[in-house]
Every structure is written in structure tokens, then in C-alpha cells.
Chains A and B, each alone.
Chain A
Amino acid sequence: SQQGEEDPQALSIQEGENATMNCSYKTSINNLQWYRQNSGRGLVHLILIRSNEREKHSGRLRVTLDTSKKSSSLLITASRAADTASYFCAPSPTGANSKLTFGKGITLSVRP
């Protein structure tokens, strides 16, 4: 199964700064989702971008997708301490019954 590879593994920024997280994948996809996990809790869906979309916004989140480079990025603008969490990308490969798979995640720390 394909999983996304997030980069960097860990990111520490000051409150108010922007956080950029990247994800790369290997095969063609139908869509790609980003999830967030607060410490020890279940993952929560943040945003989905389809393969025919290049950019999508949701509040302070901006997701881009470059299918030619097989990569996606998640930008959190004006970060807050409450954004401290792990972030996962989950590409969904093309094909019947394709499964969403999760990578190792990015640990984001936002310092107050």
C-alpha cells in the first residue's frame, strides 16, 4: 500500500508564524487528505484535496497539490499554541477499493 511521506518529521515555530508541512507520495492518486492528531487522541480530518485541484483553503489552512511532482503541502497561517499536534497526510491511490493510508506524521510544536 502507498503511504505519504511527511517532511519535516518535526517542526517548532513561534506563535504567529506560519507552519509549512510537506507530503510526498509515489503513485497516482484520487485525492489526498490531511489529518491532525492531538497527543494520544484519534486523528481528526482537516481537509481533502482532489487530484484535479491545485489549491484549497479552509480557515487558516491552505493545502496545495502538485500531481506532477507527487507532492502536497499544508500551510497553517498565524499559528497558535493550540495548533500543537501531529499532522498526517493520507493519499488515496487510484484503483478500485483503494485505501487511505497514513504516514508517520509531522510533529508540530507552536511555542507561545
Chain B
Amino acid sequence: EAQVTQNPRYLITVTGKKLTVTCSQNMNHEYMSWYRQDPGLGLRQIYYSMNVEVTDKGDVPEGYKVSRKEKRNFPLILESPSPNQTSLYFCASSWTSGGAGDTQYFGPGTRLTVL
């Protein structure tokens, strides 16, 4: 089954404690992306990756890091989480970034709370 998986699904942590949210897709997609969703602000892109070893900032990259060492995985790293990073996070993947009309497939989401 084609899918994007994220782990963990729920996480409560404290300020400053490094964490990683994993994302994996089994569709051999080249494009992967991380979004955060906050009430009233919609879906905002954090980072994206056009292919292996190619990553770039989205609209709200501050406080986040990513890596794309292999095609299927695109982890999101919070080196020193702060309460303003409390949010619902989504990973997504597609063949291309969207210009060709590719469907983006979303993971189930990770609800992060930073105390």
C-alpha cells in the first residue's frame, strides 16, 4: 500500500531537548516536504527536498533542520525545541513539487507539544 509514515504520532517534550520526527515513503517519490499546521494559520511549509541530498527552506524554516540521505526518508530535526514549535506536523511526498499536477501524499501527522 502506498503510504507516508511518520513517527512518533504524538510527542510531549521539554524546551531544549533535541528531537527527531521521522518520515518515510514507499512510493519512490523524489519530492518530500514538511509542513506545520496551526489554528488560523493553515498549512505552512518548513522545508522541502527535490531529491536526495537536495533540500531547501520553505516559508518557516527557523528552528528546524532536515536531511535527505536516501530517497525514502526525510527526517525533521528540532535541535532545541521551544514552546512556539508546539504544532501539528505533516510530512508529504510526490513525484515532483507540483507543477506537473502530481498528487501530494500526506502522512498521518505528528502532534508535538513543547513545554
Contact = CB atoms under 8 A, between A and B. Distances in A.
Interface string B1-28: 0001000000000000000000000000
B90 A42 contact: yes
B109 interface: yes
Interface string B37-57: 000111101001010000000
Interface string B85-115: 0001010101001111101111111010000
A62 interface: no
A84 B82 CA distance: 33
Contacts, number: 76
B64 to A, nearest CB: 17
B28 to A, nearest CB: 18
Given A42-B92, A100-B94, A103-B42, 17 more contacts: A1-B45, A1-B59, A33-B98, A33-B101, A35-B104, A42-B4, A92-B101, A97-B50, A97-B99, A99-B45, A99-B48, A99-B99, A100-B97, A100-B98, A101-B45, A104-B40, A105-B43
Interface of A: 1, 3, 30-31, 33, 35, 40-45, 48, 50, 88, 90, 92-105
Interface of B: 4, 35, 40-43, 45, 48, 50, 58-59, 88, 90, 92, 94, 97-101, 103-109, 111
